[in-house]
Structure 1
Amino acid sequence: MKKLFLPIGALALYSSAVAQQQSDRPNVLLIYADDIGYGDLSCNGTSAVRTPNVEKLASEGIRFTNAHCAAATSTPSRYAMLTGEYAWRRKGTGIAAGNAAMIITPERYTMADMFKEAGYQTGVVGKWHLGLGNETGKQDWNGVVKPNPADIGFDYSYIMAATADRTPCIFMENGRGVGLDPDDPVYVSYTENFPGEPTGKDNPELLRMHPSHGHDQSIVNGISRIGYMKGGKSALWRDEDIADSITTHAIRFIENSKKTGEPFFLYLATNDIHVPRVPHERFAGKSGLGPRGDALLSFDWTVGQVMETLKKLNLDDNTIVILSSDNGAVIDDGYKDQAVELLGNHKATGVYRGGKYSSYEGGTRVPCVIRWKGKIPAGVSDNLVSQIDWFASFASMCGVNLPEGSAPDSENHLDSWLKADVKGRSWAVEQNLHNNLSITDGVWKYIPAANGPAVNKQTNTELGNNPKADQLYNLLSDPGEHSNVAEENKELVQKMRDELIRIVESGLHIQPGYFISK
């Protein structure tokens, strides 16, 4: 493995004093993929789909092999990344419905607030899935829905309220539905259907893509979703155009920021490769792995488009680009799109067990690349790093003193991003679908005995839940977590259990529902 050594003089570039100077503050572009597993991108060596734009990015920066999101599902992972607080510390941070109230409330200090305080223009474009409005189910989708991302530090937002498989199927720009006709208002419900509206369950003849489980409620563009809606016909997205729309608005934000001369922070959250996977016609059939593989090509195209924009605007050298994913891979997540049948030798989670929803490494070990051209030497790092630390690390770079109580679980590990011989995190806590926690030091992985099903039968994902036995794995000799060595290493199990309990009990807000037996 190539080790990185950053000259002492180069480290000065990261000092708070230099970072605060207007001319030297780097832009920050965070490209956050959806459901892309460790092995889905060809830069990690196990993908059957070539992603050349990501490969180029990785070749110019640091590719991390031991990077983790904070949770194996979307909403808690995004919550933790933006707040610097593990989601399991707070009630109501599970997978959000499309009509959920905003989970990060305005009084919370977020990563976007931090960048704004440092003089950055801040924007979020793409998938949101953190709720909107004050009260679940009470949003007026035909007006300005508040609170929205503007209330937690984002100057600009162009987002999907939740995900592509959930209603409402419209984009929201700065809190307002895009393209809505006042004469055809949109209505959303997660309790009952609207009279006369067809559903996937009752009207399968209207579908062009059929659900494999769930996803059988309101039909939009021939695809049934989770949740009900009616109206808003002029505002409905066409699934094939979602990636183009997100990319276009991300580029527009970068271009507008360039005109002001101020640095920008852009949280670019792609819909790719979340279900329903309906990539644009120019990608359809090109991967050989069906719509899931084609969506990987679409994601790679988005990366190429924004990177070309940076280059065209002469922002390439002074922009830190981070690319990662919100959780691990899932193959069948609710639609019959031949993802399973056409998987072949593709290893979406690489050598790792489990996937989205799971306590095993496939749930939270995700692709991660950091690139600052000319400032960070290219290479590969096996440091244990966590997305929850982006907050405190960027605050250090920007010279921002975080308010007391903010980002309680985020640690400043800026140096470990820059040098492979600098130790990363000592411990990372991970959360699965059932709110069960596990802990790793990057070499050993401990999963406490905990209640819950062993397998998500709908997605055919091993979840890591075992109510009868602790699990301990050596990730260096057994990265696939096949050999449980807890019985032979009782002292280490106790040490890691104690550390996990210490971390959990160190928080001021502890959510009941996680399980750690004492």
Structure 2
Amino acid sequence: MHIRVMKMPHIPTWLEMSLHLLLCLLVLCTAAKPPNIVFIYADDMGYGDIGCYGHPSSLTPNVDKLAAEGLRFTDFYSSCALCTPSRAGLLTGRYQTRSGMYPFVLLTDSLGGLPHSEITIPEILRGQGYATAMVGKWHLGYGANGTFLPTHHGFQHFLGVPYAHSQGPCQNLICFPPNTTCFGGCEQDQVLLPLLRNEQIIQQPVDFTQLEQMYIDFAQSFIADSVECGKPFFLYFASHHTHVPQYAGEQYAGKSPRGPYGDALMEFDGSVGKLKNALQELGVENNTLLFFTSDNGPETMRMSEGGSSGLLKCGKDTTYEGGMREPAIAYWPGHITPGVTHEMASTLDMLPTFAKLAGACLPNVTLDGFDITNLLLKGNGSPRKTMFYYPSSPNETQGVFAVRHGKYKAHYFTQGSISSGSTPDEDCHVTAKLTPHNPPLLFDLESDPAENSNLCAQGMTADLQQILKDIKRVKDTFEKKMKFGESQMSKGTDPALRPCYNPTCSPKPSCCRSS
């Protein structure tokens, strides 16, 4: 861009040159202004759960519109098929094995949490002047005096629940209509579910009839305050939907043909629409990257009250495609061309991508993510060519359970899960014990995303042998460089760590309530 200054006879040359320089700097600063980032994270949402991914009765007009106006991914992966490890992978850009966020998930009274040595997305963005806030489900640790909460990992503001909303006695959750029970399992020996603002409990138990609107109000205020201050912002909106127990506020309860699950999905979809509208109304939509995905696949054991993997095999807590391949949409008007991409990408790629957009340097640690900026903004191919599938309880002896390299996926171990039960496919059930495969099961995911036809069972050709050699080489190279961090879940538990509105009350946990 050329800056032209009209020369006036009474303006000294030095002043004219200074004015020209100042205007040039102003243009450069304006052009280089980093984008705002809104990351919307569903919970236990399956690949086939929303309308734009093929579900016939899901009412998700806002997400569907986002997909129509943005870039929809068909081959997008979480780093794990379970809550805690997948969230660690997202925020650090590293497989959960490196940070020690395994096995399984953190409990309400776990001693461990996301190590403070790990560098997170909000920490990187704060270094570039971003305002940072998180709304919703954390599940990366609570710890003594809240030492593992989001405010200790780069978030300036937090409103949410420190763990899964299923980790409590669900008959005490307040749902709509009044005096009804939310659908789902209960953990009777836990404290009533707490709602925190930053590090303070403001409500216990949570009022689920108002929760989603509280989240939206908080998010809208954060966005508005950031815009007023002229600061770029990062909002991590980690919804509890569509994890059990299902709930929805008055506006959505009983409105979906899919029952309680559909009601929860509708409320979540409504939140997506409200966030998008807030960006529009505040005039920052064209300078905001909005990214939508889910932490892992659906809990099919819930049957109609759980999610759908669509055409993919199995679901939550498995290394089949239904466990880790997720719906994903990137939206940024004027920057991202609407369409569908079959390029491979992952939540692991968010940290390096957001860092690039913000003009930040990458942390001096081993990253498993790739910068996909050119895929998003230019439609180029993805730098990600490989995805490694760890189980929720990994170990160094077994290593990765499966590897996708290009269009081929090789399973070295398979195992079912209780979370993926109640489907006709017995490979998904908890009765499907850990099974090694030599040669590995091999699938062409372009022609067979449902993993129905094991290519090796059709006869071992020279071409198949070469494919397996190539995948094994990639696997071996990766595993040689993988250093497992100390397991945070193996640090044990302490009931005294359970969040309590009145820490000195008795008897616990029943006395831990705000009213």
**Per the shorter chain, which TM-score range?**
0.7 to 0.9
The structure where helix makes up a greater share of residues is 2
Measured against aligned partners, the alpha-carbon deviations of 1:310-369 in whole angstroms (never above 9, x if no partner) come to: 111111111110000001122345xxxxxx2578xxx82121111111111111110111
- What is the one-letter code of the residue matched to 1:294? D
Larger Cα Rg: Structure 1 or Structure 2?
A: 2
Rounded Cα–Cα distance in structure 1 between residues aligned with 2:168 and 2:266:
25
In structure 1, the partner of 2:388 is: 429
Of residues 326, 346, 350, the one that matches 1:366 is 326
C-alpha separation in 2, matches of 1:233 and 1:376: 39
Contact 1:18 1:24 in 2 (8 A): no
Counterpart residue number, 2:213: 244
Match of 1:87 among 96, 110, 135: 96
Change (3 A) 1:466 1:484: farther
Normalised to the residue count of structure 1, the TM-score between the two structures is: 0.76
Matched ranges for 1:109-508 at <5 A: 109-133=119-143, 139-140=144-145, 145-167=146-168, 208-209=181-182, 215-218=187-190, 235-333=204-302, 340-341=303-304, 348-405=308-365, 408-435=367-394, 437-449=401-413, 453-456=415-418, 459-460=421-422, 462=428, 466-469=434-437, 470-487=440-457, 488=460, 489-508=464-483
* SS at structure 1 position matched to 2:94: coil
3-state SS in 1 of match to 2:456: coil
User: Aligned-pair distance for 1:117?
Assistant: 0.9
- Shift >6 Å, 4+ stretches: 17-20
Residue 424 (structure 1) shift = 3.9
Rounded Cα–Cα distance in structure 1 between residues aligned with 2:484 and 2:369: 15
State the distance in 1 between where 2:326 and 2:172 align: 35
Greater alpha carbon shift after TM alignment, 33-42 vs 101-110: 101-110
Aligned letter for 2:89?
A
Answer whether contact 2:300 2:420 (CA < 8 A) is retained. no
SS of 2:210's equivalent in the other structure is helix
Q: Residue 183 of structure 2 contacts residue 246 of structure 2 at CA under 8 Å; is this kept in 1? A: no
Alignment check: 8 A CA contact 1:19 1:25 kept: no
- Contact residue 226 and residue 232 of structure 2 kept, 8 A: yes
Distance 1:107 1:91 in 2: 11
Deviation at 1:257, TM superposition (A): 1.1
Deviations 1:153-205 (A, max 9, x none): 11111121101111499xxxxxxxxxxxxxxxxxxxxxxxxxxxx999xxxxx
Q: Tell me: CA distance 1:482–1:247, structure 2 relative to 1, closer, same or farther (3 Å).
A: same
Q: Separation in 2 of the partners of 1:307 and 1:403?
A: 31
Change (3 A) 1:412 1:467: same
1:98 to 100, 108, 119: 108
3-state SS of the aligned residue for 1:383?
Answer: strand
Residues 19 and 398 in structure 1, CA contact (< 8 A), matched pair in contact too: no
Between 85-94 and 323-332, the greater mean CA deviation after superposition? 85-94
Counterpart of 2:418, as a letter, is: N
Q: Is the 8 A contact 1:98 1:168 kept in 2?
A: no
Q: How big is the shift at 1:495?
A: 2.3
Instruction: Name which of 45, 61, 64 aligns with 1:52.
Output: 61
In 1, Cα distance between equivalents of 2:244 and 2:223 = 27
- Aligned residue for 2:89, secondary structure, equals helix
Deviates more, 1:249-258 or 1:321-330: 249-258
Change in CA separation of 1:21 and 1:448 when aligned onto 2, cut-off 3 Å? farther
Distance 1:149 1:217 in 2: 25
SS at match of 1:367: strand
Counterpart code for 1:460: S
> Match of 2:407, as an amino acid?
V
User: Would you say the 8 A contact 1:383–1:424 is kept in 2?
Assistant: no
Q: Offset at 1:243? A: 1.8
Aligned with 1:382: secondary structure? strand
Q: Output the CA distance in 2 between the equivalents of 1:472 and 1:262.
A: 49
Query: Structure 1 residues 266, 73: CA separation in 2 closer, same or farther (over 3 Å shift)?
Result: same
> Which stretch shifts more, 412-421 or 439-448?
412-421
CA displacement at 1:105 relative to structure 2: 2.4
Aligned to 2:326, what secondary structure does the other structure show? coil
Write the mapping of 1:15-26 to structure 2, written as runs, cut at 5 A: 24-26=33-35
- Give the secondary-structure state (helix, strand or coil) at the position aligned to 2:361: coil
- Shifted more, 433-442 versus 62-71: the winner is 433-442
**Which residue identity is paired with 1:260?**
C
Asked if residue 38 in structure 1 is aligned to residue 11 in structure 2, the reply is no
Residues in 2 aligned to 1:475 and 1:19: alpha-carbon distance in whole angstroms: 45
Structure 1 distance, partners of 2:374, 2:107, is 38
Distance 2:28 2:232 in 1: 11
Partner of 1:174: none
Q: Is the 8 A contact 1:444 1:474 kept in 2?
A: yes
TM-score by length of 2: 0.77
Matched residue SS, 1:324: strand
Q: Residues 106-133 of structure 1, C-alpha deviation per residue, up to 9 Å, x if partnerless?
A: 2322111111111111111111000022
Conserved 8 A contact 1:449-1:465: no
Whole-angstrom CA distance in 2 between matches of 1:349 and 1:419: 30
Equivalent residue of 2:293, what SS? Answer: strand
- Alpha-carbon distance, 1:308 to partner: 0.9
Count of matched residue pairs: 433
Consecutive unaligned residues in structure 2, runs of 5 or more: 1-25, 174-178, 195-200, 395-399, 488-515
One-letter code of the match for 1:467? T
8 Å CA contact retained: 1:20, 1:399: no
Letter in 1 for 2:343: N
CA contact (8 A) 1:355 1:363 kept: yes
Tell me whether 321-330 or 460-469 shows the greater mean CA deviation. 460-469
CA deviation string 1:259-299 (max 9, x = no partner): 21101011110111111101112212211111111111011
Is the CA contact 2:300–2:419 (under 8 Å) kept in the aligned structure 1? Answer: no
Query: Would you say the 8 A contact 2:184–2:244 is kept in 1?
Result: no
Is residue 412–residue 436 contact of structure 2 (8 Å, CA) maintained in 1? no
